[in-house]
Amino acid sequence: MTQPHSTRGAWLIVLASLITVAICVYDYYTPETGLIGSGGVILVAGAAVLMFLASLVMAIMPNRGALLQTFLTVSILLDIIGSSVAGYFLESPVIMAAQALALVGWLVNVISNAAERSVETDEVEDED
Partner 1 sequence: MKTKVKTAALVALGAAAAAAIYLSPFGATAQNSMMMMAGGSDQVWDAFGGNQQAQKYSTATQITPDNVKNLKRAWSIHTGDVSSGRRSTTWGATPLFVNDTVYVGTPWYRIFAVEPDTGKTKWVYAAGGAEGPPQNQGLKSRGVAYWAAALPEAGQACQKMVYVGTQNGELHGVDADTGKRCAGFGNNGVVNVDAWSTKNKKFKLGLIQPPAVYKDTLILGWAGLDWVYKTENPGTVFGIDARTGALKWTFNIIPPDMENQTGTANVWAGISVDPETGLAFLPTSSPSPNYYGGDRLKEMPYATATVAVKAETGEVVWSRQLVHHDIWDVDTNSAPTLLDIKKDGQVIPALIQATKMGFHFVLNRNTGEPVWPIEERPYPASDVKGEVAAKTQPYVPYPEPTIPDATPPVSKFADFVSFGECSRWKARLRDEGRYTPPSIRGSISWPATLGGVEWGGGAVDPTTNTYVVNSNIVPQIYTLVPRADADKLYGKDPRGPGGYSAQEGSAYGFKLENFLNMWGMPCWQPPYGTLHSYDMNTGKQLWKKPFGQVQKWGFYMPESWGSITIGAPVITKSGLIFIGASMDSRVRAIDLKTGDVLWKHIVDAPAVSQPAVYTYKGKQYVVFAVGGNGILTPRLSDQLVAFALPS
Write the DSSP symbol of residue 13.
Answer: H
Please identify, among the stretches 11-19, 32-40, 102-110, 113-121, the one whose residues bind partner 1 according to the rule CB under 8 A.
Answer: 32-40
Work out whether 93 is an interface residue with partner 1 (CB under 8 A). no
Check residue 73 for interaction with partner 1 (CB under 8 A). Answer: no
Please, which residue, 68 or 112, has the CB nearer to partner 1? 68
Identify the CA nearest to 83 among candidates 44, 57, 121, 41. 44
End-to-end alpha carbon distance in the chain: 23
Question: Interacting stretch for partner 1, rule CB under 8 A, among 62-70, 86-94, 101-109, 114-122?
Answer: 86-94
Q: Which helix (H) or strand (E) holds 9?
A: none
> Is 104 near partner 1 (CB under 8 A)?
no
According to the binding rule CB under 8 A, does residue 7 interact with partner 1? no
Number of amino acids touching partner 1 (CB under 8 A): 29
Best CA proximity match to 74, nearest among 26, 109, 24, 29: 109
DSSP state of 104: H
Q: Can residue 43 be called a binding residue for partner 1 (CB under 8 A)?
A: yes
Q: How far is the CB of 126 from partner 1 (least distance, A)?
A: 41
SS3 letters across 24-40: HHHHHHCHHHCCCCCHH
Which residues of the shown chain bind partner 1 in the complex (CB under 8 A)?
31-43, 46-47, 50-51, 75, 78-79, 81-83, 85-86, 88-91
